[in-house]
Structure 1
Amino acid sequence: MAVAVELRGVRVRYGLLEALHGVDLACPAGRVTVLLGRNGSGRTTVLRALAGDVPVSAGQVLREGRDVTALDAHRRAAAGSAYVPAERGVFGSLTVAQNLALSGDAPVDRWFPELARLLHRRADTLSGGEQQMVAVGRALAARPRLLLLDEPGRGLAPAVAARLHGALFELAAAGRTVVLAEQAPLPSLQRAAVVHVLRRGRVAFSGEPSELGPAGGAGGADRTGLSL
């Protein structure tokens, strides 16, 4: 499979703390890639490095084989990527309709019909789950070539999260590349092409979802059932 985006030997530091220790991972084009790991494992930092939201102290970030390490988040977004953080992904002073309009005519009724009654509400008056639907819906509407999502199901009801994951697979089937981070394996993500399990800033396992067993190759199961 062709590779859409890749980290090669990437290190990221936050002050004196090194969050990624020479990470190598690849995300296939036109497929869904899942990053798994507990809080502090490095999942979010991987997404931020791919998005250009944090500088790397060593290594390379490649986009379709081209070195984009020096490109900031604005230029990577202009080249067709979108990053949705786990929190604060909306413009609170704008209404739901205004937030969604930033990416064009979002099909709210298809992805998140729950938002239809909230279109005239300010985003900062919504619940956490409702704000998450707005942020993810805006990114989906933009139809980016590369979509990066940090725990997109956070605060969503299981049925809504499963519907969202279905939309992500539809996006991938249309040729887009999706990379998302979650804390644990989810049944609705079993069709993902690749799973990367992170532990303490390193890749502990890379493979297909079916290879993640209760005592899988990543070094023993924790209480969540995720091999870490």
Structure 2
Amino acid sequence: MSVEAALRSARVRYGPLEALHGVDLAFPAGAVTVLLGRNGSGRTSALHALAGVVRLAAGRVLWQGRDVTALDAHRRVRLGLALVPAERAVFASLTVAEHLGLGGSAPSGADEALALLPELSALLPRPAGTLSGGQRQLVAVARALTARPRLLLLDEPDRGLAPAVTARLHAHLLGTAAAGGRTVVLTAQSLPRSLAGAAVVHVLHRGEVSFSGEPSELRGRPAGVW
């Protein structure tokens, strides 16, 4: 299985605090990878390092075999990366329809997003700031999907979503990764059954990798793995 992106000996610091302690993480191409861990484990820092939102204090970010450590977030977006953060992922003053049209997205991309998330259709004229937390999350995910990114990063995308919507989203991510070659990395606190088809699971604990393997290998492991 080829590798789409990777962190090598990656360290992330916020002032005197180190969130990632020289981790090595590989994300297979055309597949879904899940980053598991409790709050403070380093999951978000790993996503932000891939996206260029935070700079590495040491180590490298590799993407498509290229060292992109020095590239800022905007240049990574132009190369085909999309990040959906766990918070502040939408513009409060823009309507749902305007979000889906940001960046000149093709109408077909918006149509596909609405077909996947029909809950948004009735909300198209509403400003995102008037929506519930779960509805805003749907807007952020739909917006990222309209861009049709090569590398899609999602930080706890199921926050505020109904279980049925979450399962539908997971099925879509697994399907598009397998059929369209999209690489997906998402974070979660525990592994849902709807992501049993993920290619790889990495478990982070206090800024270090405590487990890497297939979802089936994670079952039955002691709680200390976290």
* Bigger Cα displacement from structure 2, 200-209 vs 169-178: 169-178
| Alignment match, 1:208 | 214
1:194 aligns with 2:200: yes
* 1:213 CA displacement: 2.0
Q: Which moved more, 1:61-70 or 1:104-113?
A: 104-113
1:140 to 145, 148, 167: 145
Q: Determine which structure has the larger helix proportion and give its number.
A: 2
For 2:18 and 2:195, the matched residues in 1 are separated by 30
Query: Aligned to 2:185, which of 166, 179, 197?
Result: 179
Q: Deviations over 1:79-130 (max 9, x none)?
A: 1100000111111110000011113321243111111111100000000000
2:114–2:142 contact (8 Å) kept in structure 1: no
* Deviation, structure 1 residue 167: 1.3
Alignment of structure 1 residues 121-140 onto 2, 5 Å:
121-140=126-145
Count of residues in Structure 1 that have an aligned counterpart in Structure 2: 220
Equivalents in 1 of 2:96, 2:106: separation in Å?
Answer: 13
Letter in structure 2 aligned against 1:49: A
Specify the code of the residue in structure 1 equivalent to 2:188. Answer: E
1:164 and 2:169 matched: yes
1:47 partner SS: helix
Q: Following superposition of structure 1 onto structure 2, how do residues 7-46 of structure 1 map, counting pairs within 5 Å?
A: 7-46=7-46
Deviation at 1:13, TM superposition (A): 0.2
Structure 1 residue runs of 5 or longer lacking an equivalent are: none
- Which secondary structure state, in structure 2, belongs to the residue aligned with residue 185 of structure 1? coil
- State the partner residue of 2:86: 86
Q: Which amino acid aligns with 2:117?
A: F
In the alignment, the residues of structure 1 paired with residue 67 and residue 176 of structure 2 have an alpha-carbon distance, to the nearest angstrom, of 25
Identity of matched residues, %: 67
Q: CA deviation at 1:171?
A: 1.9
| Distance in 1, Cα, partners of 2:154 & 2:114 | 21
Tell me the equivalent position of 1:149.
154
Q: 1:70 is matched with which residue?
A: 70
- The AA in structure 2 aligned to 1:145 is R
| Counterpart in the other structure of 1:56 | 56
Letter in 2 for 1:157: A
Distance, in Å, in 1 between the alignment partners of 2:116 and 2:159 is 16
Q: Partner of 1:104 in structure 2? A: 106
Instruction: Please provide the CA RMSD for this pair.
Output: 1.0
CA displacement 1:127-183 (0-9 Å, x = unmatched): 000000000001011110000000001100000001111111122021110000011
**Which residue type is aligned with residue 122 of structure 2?**
R
Q: Which runs of 5+ in 2 are unaligned?
A: none
Aligned match of 1:221: 223
Where 1:167 maps in the other structure, the secondary structure is helix
